[in-house]
A and B are shown apart, each in its own frame.
Chain A
């Protein structure tokens, strides 16, 4: 456990060093809130057909950015590069279990982001948009946090799969886009899934991606009843178990293809 804490601490220190970049990422990720708020504000009549109130839609995008900062993993791109250029070998020589060890730096970085950068930014946004933000009950807030754990683990499973593609293919970085596309479209990052036409909803509702953004946001907005939330959480954690297992299998098979050149 100590070695994983050390990995988390290294990421914390790295975040301290690169705070300028982190602020930039937070600003970039806050952009959809700004655009979508303006869009709905200018088309208040259009909000009626969405099944959301104006405040709920604004809150939806604020919550989506919070979820993104707290649950996304960023190890895939760096790890893919290291697999491709062979420097990944140094990780295999250490007494650390990969890919599970990718979680520790993610947590270390997130603790820093959340405490020093993300909270001030999000407090500023909620202050600017005060009156438009919908707050959940204590129970829903707790269930929202539980749903974030599922989203965090699902993101981990997807990132492991994307990283492991680099064991098989030279140009694996394009697969990062597959993940982003699925998050954006099927996860509800761009638009709440319930706004899609019925045929699209009927497909997306059966996929695990909705647990990345859409379902946690629905819990926060109190759009689901308590029994329905529990049902969704059970399904989400079932997906977590299946996908984490499959991603680890994919990783183990992939690592047999790995060849590192150089010292």
Chain B
């Protein structure tokens, strides 16, 4: 474990240096990310300008949920998106050999390649919204902080595992250059209360593809709409999905054929 943490730190440092090599790019992408984040918030403001609430959620309550979704979104775009795109490229070009022949877990190696620091505006917006949501709803308390900590840590792992499973499909289905776009697009559903969907989809987004665990359930727990005990299922779901992602990766690798020397 210690060895992997040390390695991740080194890989992260290398990826960070690569990302910061062009400061001009950093500022442009930070501005782009900030604009998208503001648009996401503006979208809900416009909707709530026309309707009193979204499935029983007012803007102040939604702020808490959107804050959590923004935090996970920032980590997904900053730590995972570039890596997953690179992985798809490597799969399509048959360039995975370099990772498979190293005496390190190949899933770990292919998952630690890129990082983008333009994630900060989204991350800060998320933190601001969570703080705003806690204060305005009068829920600043130790249990709330604990729920947020457990849910954020679990959601990062859940998001990573689901994203990795989707991208691994490129090993099974051949040329799918845009498969890395699938997860970020479907993750948009996490920004809405799961109660807006059909009951069958509510089941899907709670138990199979648990997007509702990113924002909806943690916010529901803090707002006392759901029992506190639900939070215990978050780390369990995270571990199960991580194991599934590893199993699926090893299974899919058996279909991999190299194209490089």
Contacts and interface: CB of A to CB of B under 8 A. Distances in A.
Interface of A: 17-18, 20-21, 24-25, 28, 31, 35, 38-39, 41-43, 45-46, 49-50, 170-171, 174, 177-178, 181, 184-185, 190-191, 195-197
| Max chain A C-beta neighbours (<10 A), residue from B189, B192, B196 | B196
Nearest to A42: B196
16 contacts: A17-B175, A18-B177, A20-B174, A24-B179, A28-B181, A28-B185, A31-B188, A35-B192, A39-B192, A41-B196, A43-B53, A46-B52, A174-B25, A174-B31, A177-B32, A195-B46
Interface of B: 22, 24-25, 28-29, 31-32, 35-36, 39, 42-43, 46-47, 49-55, 173-179, 181-182, 185-186, 188-189, 192, 195-198, 201
Q: What secondary structure prevails in chain A residues at the interface with B?
A: helix
B175 A20 contact: yes
A232 to B, nearest CB: 23
A181 B35 contact: yes
Nearest to A178: B32
Contacts, number: 88
Contacts of B50: 46, 49-50, 195
B54 A43 contact: yes
A220 to B, nearest CB: 21
B46 A191 contact: yes
B182 A24 contact: yes
Contact of B175 (A18, A38, A42, A181): A18
Given A28-B185, A171-B24, A181-B39, A43 B174 contact: no
A228 B10 CA distance: 63
Given A20-B176, A21-B176, A49-B50, A38 B201 contact: yes
Given A42-B197, A184-B39, 15 more contacts: A17-B175, A20-B173, A21-B176, A24-B181, A31-B188, A35-B189, A38-B197, A42-B54, A42-B55, A42-B196, A43-B53, A43-B196, A45-B51, A170-B25, A174-B28
